[in-house]
Amino acid sequence: MYTKLLEAVLAHEADPATRSRSHGQLTDVIRLRHTLERQAARTDPEWALQAVADQLAYDAALVRLARRRGIVVRSDSFDVPERGRTALESALTAQGVDLLPRAVHGPDST
């Protein structure tokens, strides 16, 4: 399901009329990564929908940046979103793209 949502976001953004007016793809990735980190601690009733929207936005930005840098992105790599996200972040980092480390949230992050 997540993969289909991500494909829909990417297809929608391919339309020039809906393209964002950002300062660049790397800037988008870094800005959206910070958004994910801020949202990670939320527990209010609306957090789940916003969390999915934030993850889709971040992953779409990662895909766009990766494609621009010649990295082949398979949509099925996002069947498990964290796995696809981590793979693209690693591939970009291997090419010298300076992605700030994401904060780790969960039981092991103290």
Report yes or no on whether pTM surpasses 0.85.
Answer: no
The answer to the question of residue 22 being in a domain is no
The answer to the question of residue 35 being in a domain is no
Domain coverage including residue 84: 1-16+47-100
The answer to the question of residue 106 being in a domain is no
The answer to the question of residue 30 being in a domain is no
The answer to the question of residue 61 being in a domain is yes
**What confidence tens digit (pLDDT) does each residue in 6-50 have?**
999 888 876 554 455 556 888 888 888 888 887 777 777 778 888
Q: Say how many domains are in the chain.
A: 1
Instruction: Please state, in angstroms and as integers, the Cα–Cα distance from residue 82 to each residue in 3, 14, 74, 89, following that order.
Output: 12, 24, 14, 10
The answer to the question of residue 67 being in a domain is yes
The answer to the question of residue 25 being in a domain is no
**What confidence tens digit (pLDDT) does each residue in 75-99 have?**
889 999 999 999 999 999 999 998 8
The answer to the question of residue 57 being in a domain is yes
